[in-house]
Structure 1
Amino acid sequence: MSHDIRIVTESQLRAAIGLDLTAVDVIERAFAALATGDVIMPPILSMDMPDINAEVDVKTAYIPGFDGFAIKVSPGFFDNPTLGLASLNGLMILFSAKTGLVEAVFLDNGYLTDIRTAAAGAVAARHLAPSTVETAGVIGTGVQARIQIEAAHLVRPFTRVLVHGRDPERAATCARDLAETLGITAEVATDPAALVAQSQLVVTTTPSRTPVIKAEWLHPGLHITAMGSDQEGKNEIAPRALLNADLYVCDRVSQCETSGELEAALAAGLWTNGTPPELGQIIAGTATGRTSDDAVTICDLTGTGVQDTAIATHARQAMGDTGTTIRT
């Protein structure tokens, strides 16, 4: 018996889906579902290939009540820019939760991952950042640096952003792009400590394996979203900062223990605060979030399969008849 599969390209997806509050709400609901305990989300399949400066991650999740579930493959080949190619690409496959048949293949080159990752940052800011943010800071200068700040601006409309990166020219380009996109003041911060000191909301978007934020930089009224650590060995936040913060939140504790900021704190023998709350629990009201505007909060985003299933389902609904249908 034959069935139809819809093939959708990156350009078609970009025309239909953007980073907006609808996408943020989609990802927020996915986190809330994760807090129920009914979601089935296996550990990330992660393959590091250091000899070719590459990595591949595979993520998936089944959310009861959803019509489908997605499997997402994300290769990162970090020497690609020398070949004139993007570092990141990939695709998502949406399967029917009723029959297991493939319903859609999104040849998005990582676009849907970018959207759902940035939307998760907005969800973290919505629930954990101080109620008023005047200055935001970002450490990193790539695609996620830009869209994490765009996403945070949706929920905390700050008027100034500071950008820090290892390459001053890339930092300046990133700042110019953000100023143009958001219509706000954007400046390069050559000193990351000064960036943190002046910001109420900071996002780290690097692949660093040594901390880019030190524990002594924390100050009252600060929220940090760390989203760069998504593989074993990566570490953007000094382990002691997790203890010094008033609240440390994971997207998924089991992932943060092996590939997030919690990994380094555990390895150093510093983490003694038991099991951290998860973002979904705070959304659902089963765990306590920020208690005052003076509190210091850190959210550790490693990227979850529920985000992929949620954004793929959203994409399928938004695309309608767009794309190419093949019959198998």
Structure 2
Amino acid sequence: MPHDIRVVTETELRELVKLDLDLVNVVEQAFVALGRGDVIMPPIMSMELPQLNAEVDAKTAFIPGFDGFALKVSTGFFDNPKRGLPSLGGLMTLLSATDGAVRAVFLDNGFLTDMRTAAAGAVAARHLAPETVTTAGVIGTGLQARLQMRAAHLVRPFERVLVWGRDLEKATLCAADLGRDIGVEAEVCTDPAVLMKRAQLVVTTTPSFTPIVQAGWLHPELHITAMGSDAPDKCELAPEALARADLYVADSAAQVETRGELRTALERGVWPGTPVTELGPLILGAQPGRNSARDTTIADLTGTGAQDTAIATHVFARLGDAGTLIST
């Protein structure tokens, strides 16, 4: 039978979706569903295109009780900035969990992925960072660095943010943006070790292929969220850091073995082999979390299809008259 498909542009989505506590709670429910163990989530389909300096990923997940499920395609064409184009793109489709029909196509160019990734960082900080955070730090200077700090401030309202990046000019611009947008003291650090020493909450947001954060930089009352290692061969944390932390937590144990920080630790034989704690069961209380304010904790976020389904269904419920209806 004919049915309508809602096609929504990035511009329209930006009017509908804001980085706020409502969005953080939506993404947290995706982790809760994963923690219950009833989500159907296949491995990420990833296609590396080295001759194009590009990659393409596809993610999906079915969450029982949701009216629909998302199928998301993300692209990264990393020579695009030379052409005056953004390096990241893609789209999301929302399919009916009743009959499989396409309900909506979100032409978001990666916007929804950016938002749910930032919200996931806030979920990790909410459940793993010390209760009191006066100084937060971000390693990286791109869009996600800005979004992660804005999201972290929602759940841990820090007074000061430190920024480190390989490019001092970009780090200075990022710090200025964060100081203005969040309304906190913002400072550039020229040494990542100093940033780590001064902060209680640090988010790493780089596409690095070699470790930036060293194990010896970990200290009591520190939480690190590593979200840049979302593909094979990427690595932001020295593998020894994972074993040195009091608690290492993954968004998906299966994913971090192949594309997260754990992958390098396993390859180098420095992971003790203990079962990996996942964020979902930790939220539910089925797995232990931070024991004291002095614990050192690490969250390894690689991005899950469950997060995409959560934000896609959230957006669809808020569409109202937005978008263009196409009858098929």
Map of 2:233 onto structure 1? 233
CA distance in 2, matches of 1:235, 1:172: 24
Q: Deviations over 1:188-246 (max 9, x none)?
A: 10000000000000000001011110000000000000000011111111100000000
CA distance in 2, matches of 1:147, 1:204: 12
User: Which has the larger displacement, 267-276 or 169-178?
Assistant: 267-276
Within 5 Å, which residues of 2 pair with 1:1-328?
A: 1-328=1-328
Q: Which runs of 4+ in 1 moved over 4 A?
A: none
Which residue identity lines up with residue 131 of structure 2 in the other structure?
A: S
CA distance in 2, matches of 1:319, 1:170: 35
Q: Deviations over 1:154-185 (max 9, x none)?
A: 00000100000111000001000000100101
Give the structure-1-normalised TM-score: 0.99
Q: Deviations over 1:74-113 (max 9, x none)?
A: 0001110111100101100000000000000000011100
CA distance in 1, matches of 2:273, 2:130: 23
Deviation at 1:318, TM superposition (A): 1.2
CA distance in 1, matches of 2:154, 2:50: 37
Deviation at 1:321, TM superposition (A): 2.2
CA distance in 1, matches of 2:240, 2:310: 34
CA distance in 2, matches of 1:304, 1:293: 28
Deviation at 1:273, TM superposition (A): 3.6
CA distance in 2, matches of 1:28, 1:273: 27
Matched residue SS, 2:8: strand
Q: Deviations over 1:102-159 (max 9, x none)?
A: 0000000111000100000000000000000000000000010000000000000001
Q: Share of identical aligned residues, percent? A: 65
Which residue identity lines up with residue 253 of structure 1 in the other structure?
A: A
Which residue identity lines up with residue 72 of structure 2 in the other structure?
A: K
Which residue identity lines up with residue 53 of structure 2 in the other structure?
A: N
CA distance in 2, matches of 1:50, 1:308: 26
CA RMSD of aligned residues (A): 0.6
Give the structure-2-normalised TM-score: 0.99
Deviation at 1:10, TM superposition (A): 0.6
CA distance in 2, matches of 1:60, 1:196: 35
CA distance in 1, matches of 2:96, 2:166: 44
User: Which has the larger displacement, 296-305 or 267-276?
Assistant: 267-276
Gaps of 5+ in 1: none
Matched residue SS, 2:88: coil
Deviation at 1:19, TM superposition (A): 0.5
Q: Deviations over 1:38-73 (max 9, x none)?
A: 100000011111221111111000000000000000
CA distance in 2, matches of 1:206, 1:218: 19
CA distance in 2, matches of 1:6, 1:51: 36
Deviation at 1:320, TM superposition (A): 1.8
Matched residue SS, 2:318: helix
Equivalenced residues, count: 328
Matched residue SS, 2:89: coil
